[in-house]
Amino acid sequence: MERFTVISSDCHAGLPAADYRDYVDGKFRDAFDMALPIQKQMTDKAEQTFLIKEINDQWRAGNEDRLSGAWDYEQRLRVLNGDGIAGEIIFVDGITEQNAPPFGAGLSLPTKNIMPELQWAGARAHNRWLSELCARNPARHFGVGVCPLLWDIDEAVREVRWAAENGVGGLLIPLFTGEFPSYHHKRYDPFWQACEDTGTIVCLHSGAGPMEQIFGEDFPMSDLSEYPGAMGIYVSEVFFWTYRPLIFMLWGGVFERFPRLKCSITETGQGWLLPPMFRMLDHHYYDTQFSAKLGDYRSHLSMSPVEYFRRNCAIGASCMPRSDAEMRDQIGIEQMMWGSDYPHPEGSWPFTADQMISTFKGLPEDEIAAMLGGNAIEFYGFDQGALDTVAAEVGPLRSDFVA
Amino acid sequence: MERFTVISSDCHAGLPAADYRDYVDGKFRDAFDMALPIQKQMTDKAEQTFLIKEINDQWRAGNEDRLSGAWDYEQRLRVLNGDGIAGEIIFVDGITEQNAPPFGAGLSLPTKNIMPELQWAGARAHNRWLSELCARNPARHFGVGVCPLLWDIDEAVREVRWAAENGVGGLLIPLFTGEFPSYHHKRYDPFWQACEDTGTIVCLHSGAGPMEQIFGEDFPMSDLSEYPGAMGIYVSEVFFWTYRPLIFMLWGGVFERFPRLKCSITETGQGWLLPPMFRMLDHHYYDTQFSAKLGDYRSHLSMSPVEYFRRNCAIGASCMPRSDAEMRDQIGIEQMMWGSDYPHPEGSWPFTADQMISTFKGLPEDEIAAMLGGNAIEFYGFDQGALDTVAAEVGPLRSDFVA
């Protein structure tokens, strides 16, 4: 093959808020109609206060067509093909793009001021639409549905089955468990079991944070002048919050009890974060000098937390910088899956081709192939042959990556 | 000088719980008498469930005299001198040693199920006793009082003044702010101002964690079998919780508004944690590619968060391992202050002499001198001459550190 088969491990899709109406269960339509203007108001306010509308408007201008690929399939294909991407992992969309599902069923899955039944209705609306999107070409699109796991585990187990039967291969779970037990608690075992049984990937994606602590109790309506530097704090912590649920799962023995369960963690930073995190976990697993007084917290694990991570997890590395590619041996090359973060403004699109080359140029060809696509194909279970056929048309030329 | 002048930047002291009675304000004595048996019961339960009583009992046996140095001054001096330590920073004690102040005024300073007036009463009782302890020899003992900062800032400001007038040079503040705003909020400005004005050091010390999330709602009475690996999670996160308040202060511009304010952060890990944390903070301060959409969160700062850290902060590095000493240039040698963690079981005592040598042997003599004592002398404002006199008797021989 003269071209690489590229998977973007981090893409997003979502309908304009009003268009979710047709996908919401009939009995929730009235609630939907009432909630819609409020959702719009909150999104506008959040963008004004926290996301600097001017910057976003400037960036949107001229990008409208490509941004509509968040919901318009033909536009989406055009961007993916233009970026050289054969296959993609599709997460729900965020507030920047104003395409979040209704009733708080977006990327952050909050637990405060939320009605569980409605959040589930919003999640199901998104998952139905996502299932249709992926069905356009299942070989290229791997959908990650939304799963408000916390409220009712039986309900979540039913959603796992629905997802598996409807071509939705992964489920996004909340990073924050609010008043519910964290993910080391055994109440979640039926959910892990169902995911393992159906081969459904459990997905963590960055974005959520303890917004009230950082931006004030009235978030997103707070007066930020009382909270200087809040956004700096948010970005400094955001990756910790993404890894935290996985730390609970690793120590909690989730991958001991469910050895075939898979978990991906996406857009969370790699090089500066993972090698020290691995050293820290190994230290606490292997060295007991500093923690003898804390008793036994290891004997339920037959492997170290890092070994579970290597066996059961993979990293969706959005817009991977070259420094991360150079640290691939410390991060774990088999876990690293490149991603474009389309259609988010921090993503590499529509300049992905250049960005890829500057990240990978001169590295061993088989390692580039693994990080650009091979790892994701294996982890998420894509059909390699079908994707190679697509890549033969759209993929980046291997010769461009030779130093 | 043929000996190093050593400061332990991390020591602890506390009375046996019942002995705090005499130091509690008269009007809280009845409450003290009621709370004492409950405190004892909670401590016992915590030790049984979380700290493995057998291990602690085994470790205590034969150490009783040295452990009583937590409150007995002559015993304390014997251990310090035996360890070669000329001066020490004294924090409040933890539950392992059963010497915590009453009313939740210990190292963790919880905000849940706490009566503010009582927590203040417990803090004041400890601070009074600590003031007496330090007065035995102010040249050698730097006391860090307990300050339940959150409830009432004016009250905290009064405690800063009391501390300054009574030979208590630092104040420990809570790592968790509970329902109160975090430390970037301007409500804390009068406290920072008072600390800056009086030269009082703001101190963060590891230990507190979100115990209910990790060990269950009924902590410390929970059934841990439902929360496998909880202690592994606790130790994996505990340093994050210690640094978190400082991250809020750095981005919040606290050291911009109060440029002479000093903050120490103690027993939090160094080598595996700080260099990546610095890279992360620099990335978010200097590189805007990934955060343009997040608006301006830097213009209130005239320096980067890392530069404030270098100017205003120092690290109490308990039982510093050799790997940290070898990474001193990446960590910042001017911030590193060795500590023995006496009388905690994870500390280096009573084998400090050997531990020091294995950490520092063969390094440049002036750098060893800085990390073992010089940095702490400058940061905490000890009297160098008085300490050198003590060290001439008890300090470790410089010749033992030559490779």
User: Which of A236, A285, A305 is the closest to B281 by Cβ?
Assistant: A236
Is the preceding peptide bond at B343 cis, omega within 30 degrees of 0? yes
- The residues with which A3 forms a beta bridge, in sequence order, are A397
Determine the Cα–Cα distance for residues B87 and B389; give it in Å rounded to an integer.
11
Provide the pLDDT for residue B60: 80
B70-79: long-range contacts, CB 8 A cutoff, minimum separation 24? B70/B12, B70/B13, B70/B14, B70/B15, B70/B97, B70/B99, B70/B343, B71/B13, B71/B14, B71/B15, B71/B16, B71/B19, B71/B99, B73/B133, B73/B136, B76/B13, B79/B342, B79/B343, B79/B349, B79/B350
Provide the pLDDT for residue A241: 96
Residue A166 to chain B, least CA–CA distance (Å): 33
Q: How many residues does chain A have?
A: 403
A112-118: long-range contacts, CB 8 A cutoff, minimum separation 24? A112/A178, A112/A212, A116/A148, A116/A151, A116/A152, A118/A28, A118/A31, A118/A35
Contact list in B for residue A251 (CB cut-off 8 A) is: 228-230, 232-233, 236
| Helix, strand, coil content of chain B in percent (nearest 5) | 55, 10, 35
Q: Which residue in A has a C-alpha nearest to residue B178's C-alpha?
A: A213
User: Which of A184, A289, A301 is the closest to B227 by Cβ?
Assistant: A184
Integer CA distances (angstroms), B227 to B211, B213, B272, in order: 12, 10, 27
User: Which of B213, B234, B273 is the closest to A276 by Cβ?
Assistant: B273
Q: Which of A:331-350 have CB within 8 Å of B?
A: 345-346
The amino acid present at B295, given as its one-letter code, is G
Provide the pLDDT for residue A290: 59
Provide the pLDDT for residue B270: 77
What is the reported pTM? 0.95
Q: Which residue in B has a C-alpha nearest to residue A51's C-alpha?
A: B294
- The residues with which A397 forms a beta bridge, in sequence order, are A3
Mark yes or no for CB contact B280/A269 under 8 Å: yes
Q: Taking a C-beta distance cutoff of 8 angstroms, is the pair B267, B319 a contact?
A: no
Give the strand order in the sheet containing A201-205.
A7-13, A87-92, A141-146, A170-172, A201-205, A263-266, A313-318, A336-339
Q: What are phi and psi of B271, to 5 degrees?
A: -60, -45
B88: its two tokens: 């020490």
Contact list in B for residue A216 (CB cut-off 8 A) is: 181, 185
Residue B59 to chain A, least CA–CA distance (Å): 9
Which residue of B47, B231, B291, B323 is the best one to mutate when testing the A interface, meaning the one whose CB has the most A CBs within 10 A?
A: B231
Contact list in B for residue A50 (CB cut-off 8 A) is: 294-295
User: Which of B230, B289, B295 is the closest to A184 by Cβ?
Assistant: B230
Contact list in B for residue A96 (CB cut-off 8 A) is: 293
Helix (H) or strand (E) run with residue B214 in it? helix B211-215
User: Which of B236, B283, B301 is the closest to A247 by Cβ?
Assistant: B236
Determine the Cα–Cα distance for residues A378 and A372; give it in Å rounded to an integer.
12
How many CB atoms are located within 10 Å of the residue B286 CB? 10
Contact list in B for residue A227 (CB cut-off 8 A) is: 181, 184-185, 252
DSSP A349-385: TTSHHHHHHHHHTTS-HHHHHIIIIIHHHHHHT--HH
Mark yes or no for CB contact A233/B56 under 8 Å: no
Mark yes or no for CB contact B182/A213 under 8 Å: yes
In the DSSP assignment, the letter for residue A70 is: G
User: Which of B229, B237, B292 is the closest to A253 by Cβ?
Assistant: B229
Report the Cα B297 to chain-centroid distance in Å.
Answer: 30
Nearest CA among B211, B315, B333, B216 for reference residue B263: B315
Q: Which of A:59-78 have CB within 8 Å of B?
A: 59
The 3-state secondary structure of A146-157, one letter per residue: ECCCCCCHHHHH
Q: How many residues does chain B have?
A: 403
A136: its two tokens: 């356009």
Does A182 contact chain B (CB < 8 Å)?
A: yes
Taking one residue from A and the other from B, the number of pairs with CB-CB distance under 8 angstroms is 187
Nearest CA among A170, A152, A96, A92 for reference residue A125: A92
- The residues with which B171 forms a beta bridge, in sequence order, are B145, B202
Segments of chain A scoring below 50 in pLDDT: none
Which bin fits B152, alpha (ψ -120 to 50), beta or left (φ > 0)?
beta
- Per-residue b or e along A291-323, where b marks 16 or more CB atoms closer than 10 Å to that residue's CB: bebbbebbeebebbbbbbbeebbbbbbbbbbee
Mark yes or no for CB contact A185/B301 under 8 Å: no
The amino acid present at B367, given as its one-letter code, is E
Which bin fits B207, alpha (ψ -120 to 50), beta or left (φ > 0)?
left
Q: Which residue in B has a C-alpha nearest to residue A290's C-alpha?
A: B346
3-class DSSP state of A91: strand
DSSP A170-188: EEE--S--TTS--TTSGGG
Q: Which of A:270-299 have CB within 8 Å of B?
A: 272-273, 275-276, 279-281, 283-285, 289-298
Q: Which residue in B has a C-alpha nearest to residue A251's C-alpha?
A: B229
User: Which of B214, B244, B291 is the closest to A182 by Cβ?
Assistant: B214
Determine the Cα–Cα distance for residues B341 and B336; give it in Å rounded to an integer.
15
Which residue of B297, B299, B307, B354 is the best one to mutate when testing the A interface, meaning the one whose CB has the most A CBs within 10 A?
A: B297
Mark yes or no for CB contact B285/A184 under 8 Å: no
Determine the Cα–Cα distance for residues B126 and B101; give it in Å rounded to an integer.
6
The amino acid present at B190, given as its one-letter code, is P
Residue B138 to chain A, least CA–CA distance (Å): 31
Q: Which of B:203-222 have CB within 8 Å of A?
A: 213-214, 216
Q: Which residues fall within 8 angstroms of residue A81, CB to CB, at 6 or more apart?
A: A393, A394
Determine the Cα–Cα distance for residues A298 and A281; give it in Å rounded to an integer.
12
Q: Which of A:352-391 have CB within 8 Å of B?
A: none
Task: Write the ipTM.
Answer: 0.93
Give all strands (DSSP E) within A54-205, no chain letters: 87-92, 141-146, 170-172, 201-205
Q: What is the mean pLDDT of each run of 10 residues along chain B (403 residues)?
A: 97 95 97 94 78 73 88 96 97 79 94 94 98 98 98 98 98 97 97 98 96 88 87 93 97 98 92 87 80 77 96 94 93 96 83 91 98 98 98 97 95
- The alpha helices in A201-270, defined as continuous H runs, are 211-215, 230-252, 254-257
Mark yes or no for CB contact A227/B285 under 8 Å: no
Mark yes or no for CB contact B293/A230 under 8 Å: no
The 3-state secondary structure of B280-341, one letter per residue: HHHHHHHCCCCCHHHCCCCCCCCCCHHHHHHHHEEEEEECCCHHHHHCHHHHCHHHEEEECC
User: Which of B227, B292, B319 is the closest to A185 by Cβ?
Assistant: B227
Helix (H) or strand (E) run with residue A33 in it? helix A29-50
Provide the pLDDT for residue B64: 85
Residue A90 to chain B, least CA–CA distance (Å): 20
Mark yes or no for CB contact B296/A52 under 8 Å: yes
